[in-house]
Amino acid sequence: MEELMESYQSCLSTRRKSKSLHGISFWKRISPANFTKEDTLNLQLHRQVGEVVLQEIKSLNNLDLELYGYAKDIFAQRRGRTIQKSTVTEK
């Protein structure tokens, strides 16, 4: 049993070291983000897409949010009814 525990500890130590090194190398490969210019992303998006397309995206996004809210309400109502039915049948 002691030999098994030593082997396990050795494997665990090796895994931790390799995982740590992997994490360090991962972060070194990522170039740092440049947040020095305000709204850089928005400016790039406007240049690439155009105002008409952006307005359409915003409009559709608002519709998606309305639909999500409506679906949430329906779900809450149905859930409430289901809970009431299960409470009634348990009595």
pLDDT digits (tens, 9 = 90+) for 36-54: 555 676 677 677 777 788 7
Give dist(CA 66, CA 60) in Å, integer: 10
Reported as a pLDDT band with limits 50, 70 and 90, residue 88 is confident
The answer to whether residue 19 is domain-embedded is yes
Predicted pLDDT at 68: 92
| Average pLDDT in the chain | 76
DSSP state of 38: T
46 Cβ contact partners less than 8 Å away, ≥ 6 residues apart: 54
Whether 8 is covered by a domain: the verdict is yes
Residue at 20 is within a domain: yes
Across the range 77-89, mean pLDDT stands at 83
* Alpha-carbon distances, residue 20 vs 13, 17, 24, 26 (angstroms): 11, 5, 6, 10
- Res. 27: pLDDT tops 70: no
Q: Is the pLDDT of residue 64 over 70?
A: yes
Q: Is residue 39 a part of any domain in this protein?
A: no
pTM: 0.40
Range of the domain at 84: 50-91
Buried b (16+ CB within 10 A) or exposed e, 14-43: eeeeeeeeeeeeeeeeeeeeeeeeeeeeee
Taking residues 21-43, report their average pLDDT: 62
For tokens 């998006």, the residue is 45
pLDDT at position 21? 57
Domain count, the chain: 2
